[in-house]
Structure 1
Amino acid sequence: MWTIMMILLISLLIALFEVPYLRKNAMKREMLVFFILLVVATGLGIAESLEANIPNPLDWITFVYKPFSDFILGTVE
């Protein structure tokens, strides 16, 4: 419970610190991307604190490139 509250507090502090700068110097698209990434990162942080099973992005990369790797290594030997 406390970790979730701390994650939300830190996310709020990040938003309070960055939003004034983004309003002055950035386009609306950049602000939208900032908020999307902040929400995703906050959600992942909360899920990690609840010990949810979050897939590793490297597993997807390995799944995609493994057949190519096997083919290349099979032709070398």
Structure 2
Amino acid sequence: MMMAIFILIISAVIAFAFIPSLKKNKETKTIVIFSIFLLLGAALNIAILLKVKIPSPLDLITYIFSPIKDYIVSLTK
């Protein structure tokens, strides 16, 4: 539990380091994208810490492209 809190503290320090300069330059889109990626990274790190099974992105790609591959192979026969 302490490591999860440590990850959140580090994420907050990173946010407080970068967001003020982005706000000063009025880069709202960059702030939104930065915040999304920072939250996603923190959530994935906490999930890994808690030993949650995270599926590989390659599984999704394989699921999507397997029917396409099968169709193309069937055309060549």
TM range (shorter): 0.7 to 0.9
CA RMSD of aligned residues (A): 1.8
> Which residue in the other structure is 1:44 paired with?
44
What are the ranges of 5 or more consecutive residues in structure 2 without an aligned counterpart?
Answer: none
What are the ranges of 5 or more consecutive residues in structure 1 without an aligned counterpart?
Answer: none
What CA distance in whole angstroms lies between the structure 2 residues aligned with 1:73 and 1:7?
Answer: 47
Instruction: For residue 2 of structure 1, report the CA deviation from its aligned partner.
Output: 2.6
> Which residue in the other structure is 2:15 paired with?
15
What CA distance in whole angstroms lies between the structure 1 residues aligned with 2:13 and 2:23?
Answer: 16
> Which residue in the other structure is 2:25 paired with?
25
- Which piece of structure 1 moves more, 9-18 or 26-35? 26-35
SS in 2 for 1:52: coil
- Divergent runs of 4+, >2 A: 70-77
Identity %: 36
What CA distance in whole angstroms lies between the structure 2 residues aligned with 1:5 and 1:18?
Answer: 20
